[in-house]
Each structure stands twice: as C-alpha cells, then as structure tokens.
Structure 1
Amino acid sequence: MRIISGLYKSRKIVAPKNLPVRPTTDMAKEGLFNVLNNLYYFDDISVLDLFAGTGNISYEFASRGTTSLICVDQDFGCIKFINQTAETFKMPIQTIKSDVFKYLEKANIQTNIIFADPPYGFEDEQFFLISELVFKNNLLLEGGLLIIEHSKHTILSNQDFYSYSKNYGSNVFSFFEIK
C-alpha cells in the first residue's frame, strides 16, 4: 500500500503478511479522498478509524494534515503495526485495542469523520449496528460523516441517515449523515 498525497506522498508501507486484513485499494482510497477533499480541510478535523486493520486510511489522513486520529481494532498485531508505523513517520495516531461494537457502545467522543472498514463477510445486521451505534450515541460532530466501506454485494441504502454511495471497482463507500 502507498500513501496517495500529502507530506508522505508516494511512501510505501508494507504490512506483515499475517495480519487479518484487506487494505483499501489505492484506486478506491484516491477516489474517497477526492470526495473528502471537497468537503473538509484535513488539518481542521478529527477522525475515528474503525476496524483500522493496517491503518491505511489513517496514514492518508495524517499525511494530509489531520492531527486528531483514533484507530480502533481488536487484533493486537494490527494495533502493534499501526503504532510502529505511526512512530516511524511521526504521525499523531492514537490506537485502541477493542472490539469495535463494544467501543461504540461506550465511546464518549465526537468527531468529524468516522470511517469503518469491517470485514466484507459481515451480516447485514452487523453493518446496520455500526450506523445505529454511531447515531444513537451522537458520535459525529455537526456536519460530520460516517463512511462505511463494503463490497458491491452489500446494500446499505435502506439504513437511517444514509446519504449516498460511491463505487470504485469492487469497493463501495456508503456515506451517512444527519440532514
């Protein structure tokens, strides 16, 4: 994986092969950040990265100037890798090793962007629970977005607060917001 833009543009990051992850493709990540670039000044926002995996999305935010980043993942290897990478590049990333659903139930924060990249094999109810917990617990700041990455076989448009989706190959980003 590589960082698309910003301070660390073109830097390659190689994750250990034994991590249980499916990093967002560079093409999909570039498309997502083209959308976000028109909505936010990256140095003015806070980001919560759920099911963070390798930290791929958070590295892109950090490279573009975001200084308030929290990564949540339940896998110790993923958290260790994110911490090592953040330290290497001096990125302001905080990690939390936790089950994402338990974290969302107890979280006492508000943020501009919540990005969730759960396993593509999740059942619809698990995808629905992400948005339900985010909005029930008021975790987004005014004007904030919940973005869920999923496969083209998962349909999230029937959920509350759904706004729109963007497709990039087999990756889909569904955007949720309070209107």
Structure 2
Amino acid sequence: MRIIGGKLKGLRLNPPTNLPVRPTTDLAKEALFNILQNQIDMEDLKVLDLFTGTGNMGFEFASRYAQSVLCVDHSFHCIKYVTDTAKQHGLTQIKTLKADVFKFLEQETEQYDLIFADPPYDISRIPEIATIVFERNLLSADGLLIVEHQSMQNLSNHPAFVEQRRYGHSSFSFFQKTQPE
C-alpha cells in the first residue's frame, strides 16, 4: 500500500497484518484519484473517511493538501494505526474518531465537501449510507459521496446516484446533491 500522489507520493504504508481491513487496491485508488483530479480541487477539501481501516484513502487526501480529514472506524487498532501514522508524517489535518459509523452518521451535523465510505462488503446496510448522508444533509452544496462496494452490488436506486465505476470486484458509486433547476 502506497501513497500515489501529493507531497507524500511514493510513501509505503505498512499497517499491522492483524487489522480487520480490506484496503482499496492501488490500482482502484489511482483510477479514483484520476477521476477526482479532473472534477474537484483537492486542496482545502473537508473530507470524511468512513470505515477508514488503514487510513489509506484519508492519507491520500491529506497528501494532496485536503484542509481536514476525519477518519472514522469502529476498530481501536485501526484508529490507533491511523493516528500514529498521521503524527509520524506530520499530517496534522487528519483527525480520528473511534465510533460505529452508522451511529456517527445519525448524530453528525457537520457538512463535508467529500465523503468516502469503504464499508466491509458483507454488511447489509451499505445502501443506507447514501440515504443517511442526504437525509442528514452532510454534504456541502457541491459535495460528493463515494461509496466503495462489491461490483455485483447496485446502488443506483438512490435519487442522488450519478454513476458507478468498476475495477474488478470493487466498484465506486458516486452521489451528488441534485441541483434545483
């Protein structure tokens, strides 16, 4: 696992092998950031990284000068690894929170420019993520929600769904607030 862009480009991350994670592959991450690079200015973004795991995506956003990155995960060991790694590399914009992601979303009131969610593929509540994010108004006006999920899963039923990009067994579904006409 490595950082593919920004000030920490090329940095290898070596999380403990006992973390309960399935990190986004470098290939999928590179494809995602190529898409994002052409759509949004990553500097000064306020990012929410849900089910952060190793912090792989959060570190990538921080390396690309995101203003703030809040990494949320229920695993103490994941949060400790992300906190320690952020401190080690001077990524002061990364904050961590140990919490159940769904409980966190139900209580959160802040708005974010970009929300990235990479839930365990075997949980049944993945479609609820977009519903909660939009019901709770957690995205800024031009905000973007990206949910990583199994390619065979279809999240296109949500009214804010924009597109799905497939990378092998993993897909990214993109959601945006619908702009009033």
Q: Do they fold alike, i.e. is TM over 0.5?
A: yes
Taking only aligned residues, the RMSD between alpha carbons, in angstroms, comes to 0.8
Partners of 1:89 and 1:78 in 2: how far apart?
A: 17
In the other structure, the counterpart of 1:153 is 152
Which amino acid in the other structure matches residue 168 of structure 1?
A: Y
Structure 1: gaps (5+ residues):
none
* Shift, 1:94, TM fit: 0.5
- Whole-angstrom distance in 2 between the partners of 1:135 and 1:149: 17
Specify the alignment match of 2:163 in structure 1.
164
Distance 2:110 2:153 in 1: 28
CA deviation string 1:110-139 (max 9, x = no partner): 01000000001122xx01211111000000
CA deviation after TM superposition for structure 1 residue 159, in Å: 2.0
- In structure 2, what is the equivalent of residue 102 of structure 1? 103
Amino acid in structure 1 at the alignment position of 2:123 = F
TM-score w.r.t. structure 2 length?
0.96
Give the aligned partner of residue 65 of structure 1: 65
Of all paired residues, the percent bearing the same amino acid is: 49
Residue equivalent to 2:120: 119
> 1:5: Cα distance to partner?
0.8
Q: Which residue of 2 aligns with 1:130?
A: 129
Moved over 6 A (4+): none
Q: Count matched residues.
A: 177
Deviates further, 22-31 or 155-164: 155-164
1:7 is paired with a residue of what secondary structure?
helix
Residue 84 (1) aligns with residue 84 (2) = yes
Structure 2 residues without counterparts, runs of 5 or longer: none
Secondary structure, aligned partner of 1:44: coil
2:45 corresponds to which letter in structure 1?
A: I
Deviations 1:56-101 (A, max 9, x none): 0011001111121100000000000000110011112000100000
Alpha-carbon separation, structure 1, partners of 2:30 and 2:49: 17
How far 1:169 moved relative to its partner?
1.9
